[in-house]
Amino acid sequence: MRYTRDDAVPENVVILGAGCAGLSAAIYAARENFRPLVIAGAAYGGQLMLTTLVENYPGFPEGVQGPDLVMQMKKQAEKFGARFVEEEVESVDFSSQPFRIKTASNSYEALSVIIATGASARMLGIPSELRYMGGGLSTCATCDAPFYKNRDVIVVGGGDTAVGDAEFLTRFAKSVTVVHRRDAFRASKIMQDRLLSNVKVKVLWNSVVEEILGDNNKVSGVRIKNVQNNETKVVHTDGVFMAIGNAPSTKFLAGKLKLDERGYVIARDEVFTEVEGVFVAGDVSDGIYMQAVTAASGGVKAALQMRNYLNSITK
């Protein structure tokens, strides 16, 4: 059985977010005639919209531009009947059926919800970050390290992510300079030892990046300040990797679903939340892999479980 949408009937499924997870869920839900409504937020695509060439998404041997991949997925979902609204979710009510989702201008009711609002990389907050995003500034070493073969790169951060990214980058880069505002890493001891013993690695302790420098929107260096003596210097680099953590987009879920200490949705068996009929997919609950393809697979899993749920309540 499928509900036909009218003003008196809730949506079969509302998908929150239009990155790889949300769009993959929309494709699967639409192909099964659930006519999903996707509340996409102010922009589609999440972090892929800040990415240039994507070489590790299956099916594109020559690579694909991040925004192009997003828009192709959106067109595919629309082809099968998915509908999109460019609104931001302000609040949700999962306390009773139908579930309620509120944006600034509308309210929606749904029999099921897939949360795929993603996560965003934490940034330093300096003006040049936006200018050089995709032009030498990256938030994903796993994605972009191969572009920096035999080149000099900088990693900003001092936790497990930064140390892990720096070690990974040594497999490609000529040199890796880690900029850390403290005098010791927060990463695990074994990771620190492995990194610090690598001849390609240099660490600038007690230091922060004040500005990213470049020509024609391409990174050429950074201005670094020592926080102990306030001395500054310019360091040449071909690329800057931000590794100071990620922030899941879950503020609107506080008190509505269980979140971990970092704000990620706590999921059971990958896609189930504690509320029956509310599912989760992608980076909003995954602080480990954070890849386009893993987000897409999460969206598929959530959509299939959503199908099982709707079929069980509409027979």
**Residue length of the chain:** 315
Give me the catalytic one of 140, 165, 238, 286.
140
- Is residue 5 assigned to a domain? no
- The yes-or-no verdict on residue 4 having pLDDT over 50 is no
Mean pLDDT of the chain: 93
Instruction: Report the Cα 116 to chain-centroid distance in Å.
Output: 10
Same domain, 29 and 113: yes
CA-only gyration radius of the chain, Å: 21
Q: What is the pLDDT of residue 2?
A: 43
What is the pTM for the complete model shown? 0.82
More confident residue, 198 or 288: 198
Same domain, 109 and 183: no
Active site (annotated) includes residue 20 = no
- Domain end call among 242, 267, 288: 242
Omega cis (within 30) before 98: yes
- Domain end call among 183, 214, 242: 242
For residue 293, count other CB atoms closer than 10 A to its CB: 15
- Could you give the CA distance from residue 101 to residue 103 in angstroms, rounded to a whole number? 7
Same domain, 127 and 215: yes
Pairing of strands 83-85, 37-39: parallel
Span 21-42, pLDDT tens digits = 999 999 999 999 999 999 998 7
Give me the catalytic one of 7, 20, 93, 143.
143
Q: What is the pLDDT of residue 7?
A: 52
User: What domain range includes position 91?
Assistant: 11-120+246-313
27, 33 Cβ separation under 8 angstroms? no
Torsion-angle region of 219 (φ positive above 0: left; ψ -120 to 50: alpha; else: beta): beta
Span 84-133, pLDDT tens digits = 999 999 999 999 999 999 998 999 999 999 999 999 888 999 989 989 98
Span 258-278, pLDDT tens digits = 999 999 999 999 999 999 999
Q: How many domains does the chain have?
A: 2
- The yes-or-no verdict on residue 161 having pLDDT over 70 is yes
Span 167-210, pLDDT tens digits = 999 999 999 999 999 999 998 899 999 999 999 999 999 999 99
- Domain end call among 227, 242, 257: 242
* Res. 3 pLDDT band, cuts 50 70 90: very low
- Diameter of the chain by CA atoms? 71
Same domain, 33 and 96: yes
Same domain, 64 and 154: no
Same domain, 132 and 233: yes
Question: Residue 153 has which token pair?
Answer: 């790169």
Give me the catalytic one of 144, 165, 238, 283.
144
168, 155 Cβ separation under 8 angstroms? no
- Is residue 169 assigned to a domain? yes
Same domain, 221 and 278: no
Query: Which single residue is written with the structure tokens 């994507």?
Result: 54
* C-alpha to C-alpha distances, 22 to 70, 169, 171, 194, nearest whole angstrom: 11, 30, 33, 37
Query: Which single residue is written with the structure tokens 């500054």?
Result: 232
Same domain, 145 and 102: no
CATH number at residue 309: 3.50.50.60
Same domain, 216 and 140: yes
Span 211-262, pLDDT tens digits = 999 988 899 999 999 999 999 999 999 999 999 988 999 999 999 999 999 9
Q: What is the pLDDT of residue 8?
A: 60
Same domain, 129 and 238: yes
* C-alpha to C-alpha distances, 73 to 68, 69, 76, nearest whole angstrom: 9, 6, 5
- Is residue 177 assigned to a domain? yes
- Is residue 1 assigned to a domain? no
Active site (annotated) includes residue 144 = yes
* Res. 69 pLDDT band, cuts 50 70 90: very high
Burial class of 165 by CB neighbour count within 10 A (0 to 12, 13 to 18, 19+): buried
Pairing of strands 89-93, 53-54: unpaired
Q: What is the pLDDT of residue 120?
A: 86
